[in-house]
Amino acid sequence: MRIQMLVYSAGLALCFLGTTAARSEDGWAKVIPPPSVDTISAAKLAKVQPGTSTKTEVQALLGAPWRILQFNDCGMSMPGQADESWDYRGRNAKGTYRVHIEFDDSDVARLVAKIPDRAAGTKGTRAKTAPPDMKVAMKM
Amino acid sequence: MFHIHVPRLAKGFGCSFFLVLGIASQAPAQGPAAAYPPYGSAIPVITNTEHRSGAVGEDTQKMPPPNGPNEESIWNMKVEGFNDNQARPIYQPLIVNQNGREIMYNGNLSGTAMNPLTGVSESNGTSIIDVTNVKRPKFLFHIPGPDPINGSFAAAGAQMVRVCPGSSMPNAAANGIAGKFFLLRAFGNAGANESHQIWDVTEPSAPKFLTTIISGLSNTHKSWWECDTGIAYLVAGSKSDGWQQSGSTQHVYIYDLSNPAKPQFIRQFGLPGQQPTASVATQQPCLNAPSDTCFEGTTNPPGGVHGPISMGTVVNRVYMPYGVGSSGVIQIDDRMKLINGCKATGPGSNPNASPNCQNSPTQADLLWPQVSWVTMNPENGGHSSMPVFNVPIPEAQSNFGDGTPESKSLLFVSSEGTANNCFGQAPHDAWILDIANEQTPWPMATLNVPQFPGNFCGKGARFGAHAVTEQIYPPYYGKIISVSWFNAGVRIWDIRDPKNPKPLAYFIQAPTSNTAASCSTINGVTNCFNATMNDYVEYDDRGFIYAADRAGTGVTILSLTGEARNAILPQSEQ
Which chain B residues in 161-200 lie under 8 Å from chain A, judged by CB atoms? Answer: 189
* B524 shares contact with chain A (CB less than 8 Å): yes
Going from N- to C-terminal start, the domains of chain A cover 1-33, 35-137
- Select from A28, A54, A71 the residue whose CB has the most chain B CBs within 10 Å, as the one to mutate to test that interface: A71
| CB nearest to B521's CB, from A55, A80, A96 | A80
Contact B165, B258 (CB under 8 A): no
A26 pLDDT above the threshold of 60: no
How do residues B363-415 score in pLDDT, each as one tens digit?
999 999 999 999 999 999 999 999 999 999 999 999 999 999 999 999 999 99
The three-class DSSP label of residue B444 is: strand
Sign of the Cα torsion B391, B394, B398, B400 reads negative
Find the residue in A nearest to B455 (Cα): A122
A36 pLDDT tier (thresholds 50, 70, 90): low
B-chain residues within 8 Å CB-CB of A89?
Answer: 513
Complex ipTM value:
0.88
Q: What is the pLDDT of residue B184?
A: 98
d(CA B16, CA B18): 5
Low-confidence ranges of chain B (pLDDT < 50): 1-30
d(CA B507, CA B546): 11
Query: For B129-146, what is the HEC assignment?
Result: EECCCCCCCEEEEEECCC
**Do B155 and A73 count as a contact with CB atoms less than 8 A apart?**
yes
How do residues B341-357 score in pLDDT, each as one tens digit?
999 999 999 999 999 99
d(CA B149, CA B146): 9
Which chain A residues in 4-23 lie under 8 Å from chain B, judged by CB atoms? Answer: none
Average pLDDT over residues A68-95: 77
Which chain B residues in 320-349 lie under 8 Å from chain A, judged by CB atoms? Answer: 324-325
Q: What is the pLDDT of residue A133?
A: 53
Distance from CA of A90 to the nearest CA of B (A): 11
Q: What is the pLDDT of residue B469?
A: 98
Bridging pattern class, strands B284-285 and B294-295: parallel
pTM of the full structure: 0.90
Q: What is the pLDDT of residue A19?
A: 32
A96 pLDDT above the threshold of 60: yes
* B422 shares contact with chain A (CB less than 8 Å): no
Q: How far is CA A9 from CA A4, A6, A16, A23, B2, in A?
A: 9, 5, 10, 21, 70
Q: What is the pLDDT of residue B228?
A: 97
* A36 shares contact with chain B (CB less than 8 Å): no
Q: What is the pLDDT of residue A121?
A: 63
Closest CA to B356 of B364, B348, A95: B364
| CB nearest to B156's CB, from A73, A118, A127 | A73
**DSSP characters over B454-468:** TTTTTSSSBBS---B
Closest CA to B536 of B222, B304, B251, B309: B222
d(CA B320, CA B272): 13
Contact B234, B248 (CB under 8 A): no
Name the fold adopted by A35-137: Beta-lactamase Inhibitory Protein; Chain:B, domain 1 (3.30.1450)
* A133 shares contact with chain B (CB less than 8 Å): no
Find the residue in A nearest to B533 (Cα): A71
Bridging pattern class, strands B534-539 and B525-530: unpaired
**Do A120 and B418 count as a contact with CB atoms less than 8 A apart?**
no
* A35 shares contact with chain B (CB less than 8 Å): yes
Distance from CA of A39 to the nearest CA of B (A): 16
Contact B217, B192 (CB under 8 A): no
Going from N- to C-terminal start, the domains of chain B cover 160-324+329-375
Q: What is the pLDDT of residue A37?
A: 63
B238 or A11, which is more confident: B238
B-chain residues within 8 Å CB-CB of A66?
Answer: 113-114
**Do A74 and B155 count as a contact with CB atoms less than 8 A apart?**
yes
**Do A98 and B159 count as a contact with CB atoms less than 8 A apart?**
no
* B307 shares contact with chain A (CB less than 8 Å): no
A122 pLDDT above the threshold of 70: no
State percent of chain B over pLDDT 90.
81
Closest CA to B163 of B93, B215, B83: B93
